[in-house]
Amino acid sequence: MTVYNIALIGFGGVNRALAELVAKRNTLWERELGFCLNIVAVSDLRLGSVVSPDGLDPRMLLQANFAPGGFGRLSGGRSQADNEMIIKSAPPDIIVEATFTNPKDGEPAVTHCRWALKARKHVVTANKGVVAFAAHELNTLAKAGGLSFEYEGAVMSGTPVMRMAEKTLIGTRVMGFEGILNGTSNFVLGRMEHGMDLSSAIKEAQALGYAEADPTADIEGHDVRLKVAILANELLGASLKPKDVACEGISRLSSQDINTAINESSRWKLVGSAIRGKDGVVVGTVAPRRLSLQHPLAAVGGVTNAVSLDTELLGSVTIAGPGAGRTETAYALLSDIVAIHADRSKATAAA
């Protein structure tokens, strides 16, 4: 039975949820997946950092009500985050990068992943910024070192759109895609259909925890822009940077626009899309679109995400599921570790 030592970089909602899964399901994973996870280090901007080569009790990490700098009270702990030391140190086999998403350049998460791969650690992340800005570089580093850089959760959280397209739909050739890739904006548009104005719908989304205090990234399409760049590069073989994706959000839509669409058997959705032209050039866009009720994305409501893939052999294939959520995203990280384990098992069998 294989034990993977993991280091959690960032201990917010997603990595806390992964720690919860480790606490509850490690024994099950041993039996069903052939491995278990041992948390040997955690680093967090608020809490500090802690390292234990023998492993940290995930229940202790979750149940202790740590004050800022609280990891400094633990054996092997410091009151300040020391990401570089933890990432480059010997104990971890896998670095789980779950710090905040920087939509401008992906830092500091890009540097975290670079450090890890150069130190011969596998990396799993759900950080959109890392993947949108540096996937090519980091995949090249990983391949050169015989390592894995996995990021299934970067687009649709626990819904495996990239792995499904690349593994299950292999041979169909994806020509383009269009999707609802931001649950917050989709929720807001749905509430506007029920009579709310934009401002009130955003406030409700914030009260429910769907929107941040500053909802700009969701409402103006910046979050979707990152995801379009990721999907275009992964599924269409493009080399797009986020700045290459034309972007317009939903802030210009009025209640009258929403009502007119309803009266004409259609509805507004914020759609991220990319298509490969006959010349081979891939063009990505984010914009509000008025969809007929027969469109496969028109019925996608609430905070659900969905992507319709345009394939040569099957036509349109639509994948829908949770696009956010701490447990859902933690599952995506687990699925990435499963992929690492499968690759290692194949390599061992072939040796």
| Start-end of H helices in 176-254 | 183-193, 198-207, 216-219, 222-236
Contacts of 156 (CB under 8 A, 6+ apart): 181, 227, 305, 307, 319, 321, 322, 323
- Residue 149 CA, distance from chain mean position: 13
Contacts of 285 (CB under 8 A, 6+ apart): 228, 245, 246, 247, 272, 273, 274
Distance CA 217, CA 129 (A): 12
Residue 147's alpha-carbon distances to 23, 184, 286, 315, 343, in angstroms, are 26, 35, 33, 35, 10
Contact (CB, 8 A) for 5 and 93: yes
* The two structure tokens encoding residue 153: 């959760």
Phi, psi angles (nearest 5°) of residue 248: -140, 135
Contact (CB, 8 A) for 310 and 177: yes
Is the preceding omega at residue 108 within 30 degrees of 0, hence cis? yes
Q: Among all residues, which ones are annotated catalytic?
A: 227
Distance CA 52, CA 341 (A): 23
